[in-house]
Structure 1
Amino acid sequence: MSEEHVDAIVVGARCAGSAAATALAGAGRRVVAVDAAKFPSTTISTHLLFAGGVAELARVGALERVEALGAPRHDEAYIGMPGAEVRGTYSPVDGIAYGMCVRRAGLDLALVETARAAGADVREGVKVTSLVEEDGRVAGVRVSARGMQGEHTLRAPLVIGADGRRSTVARLVGASEHLSNPNERACYYAYYEDPRTEWRGTAAMWLAGRELGTVFPTDGGLALSLLMPPKERADEFRLDLEGEYDRTVAMLPGMAERLAGRTRVTKIVQSVEQPSYFRRSSGPGWALAGDAGHFKDPVTAQGIRDALRFGRLLGEAAAPVLDHPARLDAVVRKWELRREAECLETYHWTNRLARADEVNPLQEQMLRMLAKEPEGSRRLLDVYSRVRRPGQLLTPGFLAGCAVGAFRRRGVDRRALLRTLTAEARTELTTRRDLFRAARMR
C-alpha cells in the first residue's frame, strides 16, 4: 500500500469542499481534495443563489468563471399567492445586488478549477474506503480508484468531510445529529426552454393551497421549474410522474402562465426524503463541511451559499494551525459553533416555511403589508440574502400588525387564524431556546 503525507485532505470537491481546498491552498498549504465523481458532473440541487450567495462565489474567487457559463443575473425576485404578491430587488452584498441560478455541472466544475488554480490537488474518480486513526485522532484516509492497484493512504493533520448528506466521513467518525426536522415537502424539478426575455431577470415563487412552485432562469437559455408539493403526494407522482407534474403546475395559475407554451426539455428529477439537521461537525483531526454537517430544506435555497461560506471559513481558520493539533481542534470547534450561531435562526425559519400547510390569512397579510412598505420587499429579500436575520423582519410589532390586519378581513376563519398564531408562537419559542443554547456553547 502506497502512502503520501499532505497538510490537509478534503473529501468531496463540490461547493464546500472546493471552497475549503481553495482557502487552504491559498494559504500555502498542500491540500488534496478527492471526489468519487469526475467533473463536469451534476447532482440533485435546486442551485439558486440570492445576492448573498453570489457574493460568496466572489469571496472564493470563482465568480468570473461561474458568470462565464452564461446564467442570467436575477435583478429581482417575485413571490405570489392568492390575493397578495410582492416584487423587489436586493440590497448589495459586497457590491453585488443580483442572484443567479447555475446548473451544477458547470458550477461545480468552475469551483474545482478555482481550487486547482489556487494550488489544490483535486483528484477525481477517487473514493474513500476508510479512515486512518492514530492515538485517538483521525490522521488520514485510505482511498481507491478505478485502475488503482490496491489502496492508497493519504495522511494529514486534518480530514474535512465535504461529501454531502450521505457523507462517508460523517458515518466513519460516528457524527450524530443534535438537531433534526423531517421534511414535509418533496421536490420535483425539470428544465424548460425559456425565450421569454421579460422573465429572464426574475426568480419567482408561487403558493396556492398547499402547493408551492418556482421558476428560476438558468444558463443554457433554460429555466429551472421546481415543484414542492406535500410529501404525502409522492405516491401520486410515483404512479404518473409527468402527468402529476403538469397537473400540479396547473394548480398554481401564475406558474402555469409563466410556463405557457414552453417545452420541457429534460426528465423530471425527484427527491422525496430530505430532512434538515445539524450534525456534530468537529473532532480530533476531522471536520464536516457543507451538507455533510448541516442541511436545510431547499425551500429557502440556502445550501450552496452556506457550503461556500463555511467551507471557505473552515479552510481559512485551519490553515495557520495545522501543525499544532490541540490548537487545530480548538479552532475547528470554534468554526463549528460559529456556523451554528449564524445558521440556527435561518434553519428554524426555513423549517417554518417548509411546512406543507395551506396558505393562511396571516401569510397573505404579511405579503400585503410588505408590498405596501417602500422597502418592504427588500427587507424580505434581505432575509433570503442573509443580510438580515428572520427575527429582524418578523418583529413582534410587525407580526402583531399582520395578525390584527388578518383578523379584520372579511371571511377569515378566526379560529384557524388563532391556531396559526399559536403554531408561530411555538416555533418562535423553539428558535429562542436553541439560540440561547448555542450562545451558551459559544
Structure 2
Amino acid sequence: MDHSPVTAIEWADVVVVGARCAGSATAAALARAGRDVVVLDAATLPSDTLSTHLLWPAGVAELQRLGALDEVTALGAPRLTRAYAEGAGFGIGTAFPAVDGIDYALCVRRTGLDGVLARTAKAAGAEVRQRCRVESLVWEDNRCAGVRYRDSGGAMVELRAALVVGADGRRSTVARLVGAESPFLSVPSGRDCYFAYWRDTVDSARHIAAQWREGADLGTAFPCDDGLVLSLVQPPATGDRPGPGAAERRYTEAVARIPALAERLRGCERVGRVRAATHLASYFRRSTGPGWALPGDAGHFKDPVTAQGIRDALHYGRLLAESVTEVLDDPLALDLALAAWERRRIAECREIFHWTNRLARGEAMRPMEIELYRRAATDPELAEITTGIFSRTRRPAELSTPVRATSLLLSALRRQPAAAVFTDVAREIRGAAHEWRTTRTTLRGTLAPASTPPEARSARSTALGEQHV
C-alpha cells in the first residue's frame, strides 16, 4: 500500500484507468449519459502500443456507435472489402458480412486510432488526464472506492469514485491491485507473433485482408493507413526468451517459408523494426467485484490469430457503461449489474475463445481442416460461414453440424490416408469434449466471489486516516 502523502482529494462518478480502446469506449458512453468521468493514462497520447489492430466489420460498427468512425476513416486506411484465406493450396475468397450496415474491415495503426478514441471520450464530456500512473486503490468497507495516482508533476492525488474501471491491458495494474491478476482460465498459445509494416506498391490489392497457412506457419497482409501494409507472421512458439536479433530473424524466416506472403510483399519496402509478442496465452480473469470492473484485455484476452481484441474492447466497454450508468449511486444494484455484465461477456465469448485456441495451436493443417478449405473454396455458403465467424455474425458450431461433419469426413477419407483422418477426428472429438466441459464448468458464467485483496481488508481503518495526514 502506498504511504506517500496525498496532496489533493477529488471526486467523480467513475474513474477509468486506461484511455485506449476499452477505456475510451466506457468513458464516452458514461459521459454521454451525464456521468462525471475521469480517465487516467500513464502514457502521453497519442502513442503507439503493441497491437495487430485489424477491425472486422463488427469492430468498425463499434467505432460507428461510438461516434468515432468519421475521424478514424479520415486517417486514410483503405476499406477492406474482401477476405481471403489460403491453406493447403486452396483459396477462400469472400465479401464481408454486414454488421449495422458496415460491410468492410479496417486496419488502422494504433497511434492514430487511440488518438481518435481519446478525443472522442473527451468530446463526450470525459476528462482525460495523461501521464498519470495509478499506484494504489482506495478501499472502504471492502469496496473499491477510488484510486491514488501520481500526476504528470509527480504529486500524489486521491480520486474517489463509485466505480473504478481497469482498462489498462494485459499487465493491468488494477487487476493486480484487486487480486484478479491470476486468470481463472488460461490457455497457452502454440504460436509466437511477429509483425512489421511495409510501404505498399501502387498496384497491390489494397482492398483485401489476406491470410495464408503454409506448414505450421501462418502469415497475413492487411493494408492500413499511410500507404502501408501490416504483415504479421505466427510461427510455432519456441518457448525461448528471444535474444538480440531474434525477432528480425524469425520474422524473415517465416515470411520466406510462406511463398504467397513473400510474393505479396515483393516490391514493398519494409518500414521500421519487427515487433514481437511471445509467450502469449488466452485467458479469462475475474473481471468484477465491489466497485471495480475490468473490460478489454485487462479481464479477457484471445490470441491475436483471430484479431478479436479491439472489437471486444470497444463492445464490452460500451456495454459496461450502459449496464451501470443508472445504478452508480446504489452499491448493491451496481454490483448486480457488474456481475451480469461479466456473465454476459463470458457467455458470448466462450465459443470464439475455443475457436481461437484451436487456430493458435501452432501446427500444420490436419486432414479435416484441409478438407474444410477444399470444400469452402467452391462452396459459397461454407466460405461465408468461415468469414462470418471472424466478424461474429456466425458461430463456429455452424461449421461442425452433424450433416456437414459427416460429409467432410467421407470426403476426407476419399482423398487422404484413413489412419490420419480417423486420428484427426478422434483428436477433435476429445478437444470438443474438453471444450464442452470447460464451457459448463469454468466458463459457465457464474463465478465465486473474488478473494479480498489485503489492501481492502485493512482499508476500513486506514481509508480516512492516512490520506488526510
Shift of 1:180: 0.8
* Corresponding residue number in structure 2 for 1:368: 374
Tell me whether 1:421 sits opposite 2:425 in the alignment: yes
Paired residue secondary structure (2:134): strand
Distance in structure 2 (CA, Å) of the matches to 1:129 and 1:241: 32
Shift of 1:236: 8.0
Identity of aligned residues (%): 51
Seen in structure 2, the aligned counterparts of structure 1 residues 244 and 186 have a Cα distance that, compared at 3 Å, is closer
- Map 1:173-212 to 2 at 5 A: 173-175=178-180, 176-212=182-218
Letter in 2 for 1:325: P
Seen in structure 2, the aligned counterparts of structure 1 residues 201 and 282 have a Cα distance that, compared at 3 Å, is same
Counterpart pick for 2:383 among 377, 385, 388 = 377
* Corresponding residue number in structure 2 for 1:168: 173
Aligned residues: 439
Letter in 1 for 2:147: V
- Map 1:115-130 to 2 at 5 A: 115-130=121-136
- Map 1:282-431 to 2 at 5 A: 282-409=288-415, 412-431=416-435
* Corresponding residue number in structure 1 for 2:158: 153
- Listed one character per residue, the Cα deviations across residues 279-338 of structure 1 (whole Å, up to 9, x for unaligned) are 000100001110000000000000000000000000111111000000000000000000
Shift of 1:432: 2.2
- 1:129/1:142 contact within 8 Å kept: yes
Letter in 2 for 1:161: G
Letter in 1 for 2:119: E
- 2:194/2:233 contact within 8 Å kept: yes
Letter in 2 for 1:421: V
Paired residue secondary structure (1:305): helix
Paired residue secondary structure (2:61): helix
Shift of 1:434: 3.1
Gaps of 5+ in 1: none
Deviates further, 262-271 or 236-245 = 236-245
- 1:190/1:266 contact within 8 Å kept: yes
* Corresponding residue number in structure 1 for 2:451: none
Counterpart pick for 2:273 among 267, 270, 273 = 267
- 1:214/1:225 contact within 8 Å kept: yes
Seen in structure 2, the aligned counterparts of structure 1 residues 440 and 125 have a Cα distance that, compared at 3 Å, is closer
Letter in 2 for 1:418: F
- 1:89/1:377 contact within 8 Å kept: no
Tell me whether 1:18 sits opposite 2:41 in the alignment: no
Seen in structure 2, the aligned counterparts of structure 1 residues 347 and 398 have a Cα distance that, compared at 3 Å, is same
Distance in structure 1 (CA, Å) of the matches to 2:222 and 2:130: 30
TM-score of the superposition, structure 1-length normalised? 0.96
- 1:300/1:384 contact within 8 Å kept: yes
Counterpart pick for 1:441 among 441, 446, 449 = 446
Letter in 1 for 2:66: V
Distance in structure 1 (CA, Å) of the matches to 2:399 and 2:405: 9
Deviates further, 351-360 or 394-403 = 394-403
- 1:383/1:393 contact within 8 Å kept: no
Shift of 1:400: 2.2
- Map 1:35-50 to 2 at 5 A: 35-50=41-56
Distance in structure 2 (CA, Å) of the matches to 1:87 and 1:125: 44
> Could you list the runs of 4 or more consecutive aligned residues of structure 1 that deviate by over 6 angstroms after TM superposition?
none
- 1:83/1:364 contact within 8 Å kept: no
Paired residue secondary structure (2:194): strand
Seen in structure 2, the aligned counterparts of structure 1 residues 238 and 416 have a Cα distance that, compared at 3 Å, is farther
Distance in structure 1 (CA, Å) of the matches to 2:14 and 2:47: 24
Shift of 1:62: 1.1
- Listed one character per residue, the Cα deviations across residues 255-288 of structure 1 (whole Å, up to 9, x for unaligned) are 0110012111110001112211000001000011
Shift of 1:440: 6.6
Distance in structure 1 (CA, Å) of the matches to 2:237 and 2:361: 10
* Corresponding residue number in structure 2 for 1:216: 222
Distance in structure 1 (CA, Å) of the matches to 2:325 and 2:332: 14
Provide the aligned C-alpha RMSD in A.
Answer: 1.6
Seen in structure 2, the aligned counterparts of structure 1 residues 211 and 404 have a Cα distance that, compared at 3 Å, is same
Letter in 1 for 2:420: A
Paired residue secondary structure (1:205): strand
Seen in structure 2, the aligned counterparts of structure 1 residues 78 and 234 have a Cα distance that, compared at 3 Å, is farther
Deviates further, 400-409 or 377-386 = 400-409
- 1:22/1:60 contact within 8 Å kept: yes
